[in-house]
Structure 1
Amino acid sequence: MPDVLLLGGRAPVTLDHARRFAHHGWRVHVADSISCRLSTSSRAVSGSVRLASPRHAPAEFVRGLREAITRWDIALIVPTCEEVFFLSRYRHLLPASVRVLADDFELLRALHSKWHFLQLAQGCGAGVPEAATVDSLPQARDWAGGRAVVLKPEFSRFGVHVRLYPDGIPADAPPLPPMGRWVVQQFIAGQEFSSYSVADRGRLLAHSLYRPAYRLAASASFYFEAARIEASRTFVEALVRKTGFTGQISFDWMLDAEGTLSVLECNPRATSGCHLFALADPLPDALAGISSALLEPSTARPRMLGPVMLSAGLAAAVRDGRLAEWRRDFQAAEDVIVAPGDRWPLIGAALDMGAYAALALRRRSSLREASTQDIEWDGQALLDVAG
């Protein structure tokens, strides 16, 4: 029975990966640098370890990884969150015998950059919005020339700090905060989609596309409705082949009224599209690089984060007069958090939220910042650490 170490145990995608790996005969271990009872409380998980923050203590992070690899004889390491950048940067300090699902650091940096990614996306078969880099709002306004635009930091996550100006940048728009370079990008109206894929050395092994039907304040989605647009798969095949990419890779898309699919940005890590794969789908084979054919979800049933759908989703439905639609969608979907015979992750999620809330109070930060501050990477150079 092979052993896999999943990083980012705080994330629902890690819980989903854990159940699927266990179903396919792997022994599953989970690691993270903050509370991750969401995943560790699952019956699918055999062991867990608390690592140091890769952002704040990279040497200790690497040391903890090496100890976990030795203790459990790990064959495969699968990151799910932004620790992938640190894992890639310090991969050379880990045993060469372990498959680490993280590509070259400079390639990850280019894909994560809202600017460099658009250059890589050229010629891969999807629309690519016009864009430029700017350092100030006047520069962005000059480039836009009154056109509808999007403004975003070059490195950001969850739609945080993104500004949408469908009617052009107004005269009273606030200045851009000092967050490094910003990208001003052509605004494309239409229907949003997101995708999740797995590749190995330039070969696409798994692909899913979904519509984010319910979202938290126009940011992260918590309801995932399967979709199929061939142009998305064709683009991802071309991009991973062009770059020789290995790992998990995700994209945001916009389908306009004329039927043109445009790619907006890339996240070279796991995202919620992995939830669309059924428990029996051999996604672990794709992650291990041993698939022989392209895997796509075997079921079209929507997935959801049940607790969020019952709280934020229900509140929004009542506010917007969409209760009947919410009820229909809720009944149609399968929960990601609670699974038959594996209900403890619901309690684990509640305990995690309490831990993040306490951390947010201590740091005087938002709940989101508290839950990601230890792994965030915004394009800065990562220093060498001792081997």
Structure 2
Amino acid sequence: MVERVLVTGARAPAALDIARNLKAAGFEVHMADCVPARIARWSCAPTTVHRHASPVRESARFAADMRCLLDRLAPTAVIPTCEEVFHLVALAEADGWSDRVIAPPMDRLTRLHHKGQFADLCQTLGLPVPDSTTATDADALMMQATRGQVVVKPAWSRFGARTLIGPTPQQLARLSPSPDQPWIVQDGVRGEEVSLYAMAHEGQMSAFSAYRSDWRTRGGAAYVFEPLTGGVLDRLREMASTLASFVGTGQFGCDAIVDATCKPWLIECNPRATSGVHLFGRSAEFGRALLGCGIADPASDDWRNGVMLDSFGVAEALRTRRLSKWRTNRGRSKDIVSAPGDPLPPLGALMDAAGFGLRALASGHGLAEAMTADIEWNGQPLTPALWERP
């Protein structure tokens, strides 16, 4: 009998590529999300894309929906890909099925996700990280942020949301840190931003990739991915291996700054799938590595989010006079959304983007915030009472 795997966070291109890798490895792949997720629904990779309630807005219904899915599908494993990972892990720990979720326990997820706790963890593990302090009130923030060229950001955030580089006193005065919503003040590091991704099982890496990008949204999210080579790649692999020993089992990605001496400094961590999954080229080896069966190495190809590059990228190329580079990057890279024999996900991605855009307009928030508001976790208690059966 073919083993089933449930991949959550179906809205993400990374989730779709994970589904393609798992299908290549011979698994029956099901996906789930609390939005239409047409990028996955219109793909031939998953057997079915299921809908569940938002874990943020309807916690009890989310729990009921997930219990129903687990009972019906009986998956070998559940692979979270976005910030629903926090809600899933908390629910699994309350219900007793943590062994099926490919993610670290909640206490480790918290340390990885909280930017101040992650910096402290790196210092404990001997990994290079800029000096970082946590501010829980306005006076402390103002005092810490005037010590030099610093970066100020919420402890709980994603996609560079609300990050301030070298903030002015006027910008700092508009912030309201608190014990529940602290802000991090981190020494600025000049250099090139790079990213790593790793899959860990029982403290050992089963997959690793690292990339750079000249094409990013204003929030910092990359949409062209160029694999790294050389000494920086080796240093990042060593860092990821050290972090894997803490993670235990699960996916994680880190952003780093490579300074003028080619030394990488870890900036923050995302304990979930990231764009590094695309570098494995939809291989059966990576599909098996996700479940701890063997080791996968990335391919050498450049990859692009064609939907993003052909929209945001064109505007950015015109603004920065990089049309020649845009053509070069587009010509030599492969698309992460489309695939041979699977032509509809790009259209689904455009429809999804339109839906999130309407949400952003209705809420008055930015597009990045609208894309995660129904699944994100910002440190609020996730107690068993949330999962009481309706």
Name the TM-score class by shorter chain.
over 0.9
Cα–Cα, structure 1 residues 320 and 26, in superposed 2: closer, same or farther, change >3 Å?
same
Deviations 1:58-111 (A, max 9, x none): 222122112112222311111000000011111135564962112111110111
Q: 1:271 aligns with which of 270, 274, 278?
A: 274
**Superposed displacement of residue 318, structure 1:** 1.7
Contact kept, 8 Å, 2:194 with 2:212, in 1: the verdict is yes
Query: For residue 20 of structure 1, what is the aligned residue in structure 2?
Result: 21
Match of 1:175 among 170, 173, 176: 173
Matched, 1:253 2:256: yes
Q: Does 1:233 align with 2:233?
A: no
SS at match of 2:268: strand
More deviation in 123-132 or 276-285? 123-132
Query: What's the TM-score, normalizing by structure 2?
Result: 0.92
Deviation at 1:218, TM superposition (A): 4.5
In 2, Cα distance between the equivalents of 1:260 and 1:310?
33
CA contact (8 A) 1:75 1:97 kept: no
- 2:373 maps to 373
- Rate the CA distance shift 1:126–1:288 in 2: closer, same or farther, 3 A: same
Q: Which residue of 1 aligns with 2:204?
A: 203
Aligned to 1:352: 352
* C-alpha spacing 1:183/1:364, structure 2 compared with 1 (3 Å): closer
Q: Deviations over 1:21-80 (max 9, x none)?
A: 111111111100112010111111111211011112222212211211222231111100
- Counterpart amino acid of residue 369 in structure 1: E
Deviations 1:347-372 (A, max 9, x none): 21122223223333443433333221
Deviation at 1:280, TM superposition (A): 2.1
* Residue matched to 1:5: 6
TM-aligned CA deviation for residue 304 of structure 1: 0.8
In the TM superposition, what whole-angstrom CA distance separates every residue of 1:119-146 from its partner, at most 9, and x where no partner exists? 1112545321111111355533433554
Aligned partners of 1:304 and 1:333 also within 8 Å: yes
| Structure-1 residue corresponding to 2:312 | 312
The answer to whether the 8 A contact 1:88-1:104 is kept is: yes
Mean CA deviation greater in 309-318 or 132-141: 132-141
CA separation of 1:66/1:172 partners in 2, compared to 1, >3 Å: closer, same or farther? closer
- The one-letter amino acid of 2:306's match is G
Measure, in 2, the Cα distance between the counterparts of 1:70 and 1:193.
41
Aligned residue-pair number: 380
Structure 1 residues 16-25 or 62-71, which shifts more? Answer: 62-71
- 332-341 vs 175-184, greater mean Cα deviation: 175-184
User: What are the ranges of 5 or more consecutive residues in structure 1 without an aligned counterpart?
Assistant: none
Map 1:78-227 → 2, pairs under 5 A: 78-93=79-94, 96=97, 99-122=100-123, 124-136=125-137, 138-165=139-166, 169-178=167-176, 180-227=181-228
Instruction: Work out the CA distance in 1 between the residues paired with 2:112 and 2:160.
Output: 16
CA-CA distance at 1:176 after TM superposition = 4.3
Distance in 2 of aligned mates of 1:143 and 1:319: 35
- Whole-Å Cα distance in 2 between the matches of residues 347 and 53 of structure 1? 24
CA distance in 2, matches of 1:178, 1:171: 13
After superposition, the Cα gap between the structure-2 partners of 1:357 and 1:322, relative to the gap in structure 1 and judged at 3 Å, is closer
Displacement of 1:174: 4.1
Q: What SS does the aligned partner of 1:214 have?
A: coil
2:171 match: secondary structure? coil
Aligned partners of 1:125 and 1:234 also within 8 Å: no
Residue 75 of structure 2 corresponds to which residue in structure 1? Answer: 74
CA distance in 2, matches of 1:70, 1:123: 41
SS of 2:243 mapped into structure 1: helix
Identity, % of aligned pairs? 34
Equivalents in 2 of 1:363, 1:39: separation in Å?
25
Residue 286 of structure 2 corresponds to residue 283 of structure 1: yes
Q: What residue identity is the alignment partner of 1:190?
A: G
Question: Structure 1 381/176 Cα, relative in aligned 2: closer, same or farther at 3 Å?
Answer: farther
Q: Secondary structure at the match of 1:45?
A: coil
Query: Larger relative contact order (C-alpha < 8 A, sep ≥ 6)?
Result: 2
Post-superposition CA distance 1:264-293 (Å, at most 9, x none): 1111111101111112251122221222x4
| Post-superposition CA distance 1:230-282 (Å, at most 9, x none) | 111111111221x2521001101011001221111111111101111112251
Q: Are 1:77 and 1:98, in contact at CA under 8 Å, matched by a contact in 2?
A: no
Secondary structure at the aligned position of 1:213 is classed as: coil
Distance in 1 between residues matched to 2:196 and 2:22, nearest whole Å: 21
Matched residues in 2 for 1:224 and 1:367: separation? Answer: 21
Point out the structure with the larger helix share: 2
Check whether the contact 1:153–1:161 (CA below 8 A) recurs between aligned residues.
yes
Residue aligned with 2:26, SS: coil
TM-score (norm 1): 0.93
Distance 1:64 1:98, change over 3 A: farther
Bigger Cα displacement from structure 2, 304-313 vs 125-134: 125-134
Q: Supply the distance in 2 between the matched residues of 1:24 and 1:43 (Cα, whole angstroms).
A: 15
